[in-house]
C-alpha cells in the first residue's frame, strides 16, 4: 500500500527508504564504535595481576598420575617415532 507521503507500509509498519536505512545503520555503527562503558579498573588490575590464590588447589587426579606414571614411562620407551 502506498501512502500519501510516498512510503510503503506493511502490517502497520512504515518502511524506510534505502537512504534512511543506510543513515540509521551508519548512526548505530558510530554509536557502538564510540560507546565506552564504565570500566572497573580495580577489578581489571586484580584479574591481570596474576596473584596466586591464598589456598593451594588440590589436583583431583594427582593419585591417578602417580599410579599410571610408571606405565607411561614404559610406553614411551617401547615406542620409537
Average pLDDT of every residue of the chain: 76
Query: Residue 2 domain-assigned?
Result: no
Residue 6 pLDDT level (bands cut at 50, 70, 90): low
Instruction: Judge whether 81 lies within some domain.
Output: no
12 in any annotated domain: no
Domains: count for the chain: 1
Residue, of 3 and 66, whose pLDDT is higher: 66
Closest by CA to 14, choosing from 3, 23, 28, is 3
pLDDT tens column, 35-54: 988 889 998 898 898 766 55
* pTM over the 0.75 mark: no
Helices and strands counted in the chain (H then E)? 3, 2
Instruction: Report if residue 53 sits inside a domain.
Output: yes
Query: DSSP alpha helices (H): ranges in 1-40?
Result: 18-33
Q: Is residue 32 part of a domain?
A: yes
Residue 55 sits in which domain range?
17-76
Q: Is the model's pLDDT at 3 over the cut of 60?
A: no
What is the predicted pLDDT for the residue at 73? 61
Instruction: Determine, yes or no, domain membership for 1.
Output: no
Instruction: Examine residue 8 and state whether it is found in any structural domain, yes or no.
Output: no
Amino acid at each position: 500500500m502506498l501512502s500519501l507521503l510516498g512510503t510503503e507500509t506493511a502490517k502497520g509498519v512504515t518502511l524506510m527508504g534505502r537512504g534512511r536505512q543506510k543513515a540509521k545503520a551508519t548512526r548505530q555503527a558510530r554509536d557502538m564504535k564510540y560507546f565506552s562503558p564504565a570500566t572497573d579498573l580495580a577489578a581489571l588490575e586484580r584479574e591481570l595481576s596474576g596473584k596466586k590464590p591464598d589456598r593451594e588447589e588440590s589436583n583431583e587426579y594427582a593419585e591417578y598420575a602417580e599410579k599410571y606414571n610408571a606405565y607411561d614411562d614404559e610406553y614411551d620407551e617401547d615406542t620409537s617415532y
